[in-house]
Chain A
Amino acid sequence: MNGAEGRVMRVAGPVVVATGISGARLYDLVRVGALGLVGEIIKLDGDEAVIQVYESTAGLEVGSVVHHTGAPLLVELGPGLLGKVFDGTGRPLQALAASGRGRYGEPFLGRGAEVPTLDRARRWEFHPSIEVGAVVGAGDVLGWVEETPALRHLVLVPPGAGGRVDGIGTGELTVTDPVALIDGVPIAMLQQWPVRTPRPVRRRLDPDEPLVTGQRVVDTLFPVAKGGSATIPGGFGTGKTVHEQSLAKWADADVVVYIGCGERGNELTEVLGEFPRLADPRTGASLADRTILIANTSNMPVAAREASIYTGMTIAEYFRDQGCAVALLADSTSRWGEALREVSGRLEEMPGEEGYPAYLPSRLAEFYERAGSVRCLGGSDRRGSVTVVGAVSPPGADFSEPVTQYSLRLAGTFWALDTDLARRRHFPAIHWTRSYTLYKLGPWFDEHVADDWEDHRRWALELLQEEERLQSIVQLLGADVLAPAEQLVFFVGRMIREDLLQQSAYDEVDAFCPLSKQYWMLHVIRRTHDEALRALQEGADPETIRSLPAIAGVARMRSWPPEDAESGARELESRIVAELEQAL
């Protein structure tokens, strides 16, 4: 029975133990104390329920009332999510900021505030796409609204529903107005879904297409597939957030869900301020129009931080089900793991590695496995995907710690951030020999960009590997011991590292680099290598080669306008070739 009241027996930080909640089920929501603080039952033991509370528990006492709501944590889905920022349990932060609650007025987050995720008053122009009498099933399209200039939001028959369409709405509707009557049951645009349950799909597909990011070290060397997953661990200040933000800006996704999980408030403020002013390179629409932010900053309640990952994932799946390519960017999964650890620690559970609960790996796996490329539910052949990119913040930048290690087992792409590179301001500080991708995307690039793309990529990776091997020799014996051809490896390796892989997120031209430009930049470097090697073999002086005037052009390739990349590359190559001829 709903509403059966329990009583608080114990309060320790975000964890409350209560007894007497009849009918309590795992993951049901409860309301605790006079303020009705929202909490979630995370453990049941006889009559005792362990509750993680999403807000500060200050002021609770033994005997405080606990109301059972009978429902799990649900997130509201429907038009009105894009361009907005929500906390870990789905409360709209802009609306809260405008509501006038809080300590000195609105800017601080008070407790017990209740504002629904979706705006109830806002009207959307609903365009039906089926007719009365049609028979529909879960996932079939009822109609659409233009949520933003960037996205046509499909209104679908929710999972579990279906039957004959007895009525269909049209025109300006709110999210709670019925848009259709199916077997007598009204269906509204607003739907709810329990955040911890993956949304159903028709079937999973093999990810075989890259998520193009415009970041050279990613697309050229270590791409991630649409529907795949990547992990990016790195010590503080190595570039996780800037990288996630670059992906949020430039990746070719239809929808971006950016989760600031236990990180800085200002970083979300920055996205909120910057994205509306930036244009999506594909659609020209504002980037805010395709972005949803989930913000549970480091100083916000830790239990809600744990939930934020699931809230974000459910929203991502909802758009995937409409046939969108969604990128879910989580910064940082370590803070989520720590939230698990903190709650578990208060329960005095038997700790596993480094104090994390023994269920850390299974929870992480559940999260990463919600990534995928899928055939969506419903009659039409929609294909959607959720690509997950999880940042990891290893203590002391030591990758042997549990969250990094388990993430590595799960993610298909590994971008290893290197503290030393970050300190010398080599950005992105993704290490070229320690990172990898397991996705076989070469055929896609060969087909869509240039037929020797994969061949170039292999060549670059091998050269960098060779450079690293030679480096260890030089560190012991000095550069003198190297043969001219080996010195060339250094020379060209440096070009790849500095003139290709380095890419400033703050450079107006270079922040985003289209695939064709990436290809031509690498093409120039490879050609330079091949021609220089030939010249060396024909007796040219290595020092002369290094100081050829045309070589300086390689460092300036990044500022080429993308549309001039091919002509620029061909011209630069012929200048280098001509100067090499002369050097002989």
Chain B
Amino acid sequence: MNNNLIQYIYGIADNSLILGQRLGELCGHGPSLETDIAMTNISLDLFGQVRSYFQYAAKLIGGDATEDTIAFLRKEREYKNVLLVEQPNQDFAYSIARQFLFDVYHLLVLEELQNSKDETLSAIAKKSIKEVSYHTRFSSDWIRRLGDGTEESHNRIQTAINDLWIFTDELFHQTDADKAMVTEGIGVDVTLLKSNYFKKVNEILEEATLQIPTIEYFQKGGKQGIHSEHMGYLLAQMQYMQLAYPNMNW
């Protein structure tokens, strides 16, 4: 059993799992029917991708492991998602800013993961990339609409971008599992994506007449399993059914 590979899969899939959970919270609460449906459709795409990753991880782990035990029965420290995706929904601008800052990164990672020596990861990336391109288009569009909209929408999206900016640097940190997988030609070297990421993000922020934040202080920890105070509440809700009714299926 290749523990680095399993940890690497968690590092990628947990981002989609936790963001999918956050988007799912908006079901029935979106600001309009169209955006409500959009956010939950994105959530569904992400969960679909997570299923493929976790089915693969379950095969590597063997024994009683299934996609469900991996998704629902780990402890907080064992989830390896970045802090950005676990940040709670506040107003619509916040959810869009979180989505946008993640989508641009997600797409860059998948573009590289397509070339992985691991056939399963490469296939999942090739499948997911089509969906994530669409997510990126949706969130970029809303960044422009809110930024270049009314004074109120402009201020709200600017505040959300400013607040979430501190979580962007962590996206490009490497864990030990990442480093091992890069060496084997399986993983993506995220450090190489950084300049392209900020180029793309800044371009859209400029089009949206938004200021690019200039803060120097960044938060990190999620990739090591050290999460923000919001994660425990999220997991309590996400894991409730599986703990109350053990072995139920997705």
A binds B: no
Q: Which residues of B contact A (CB under 8 A)?
A: none
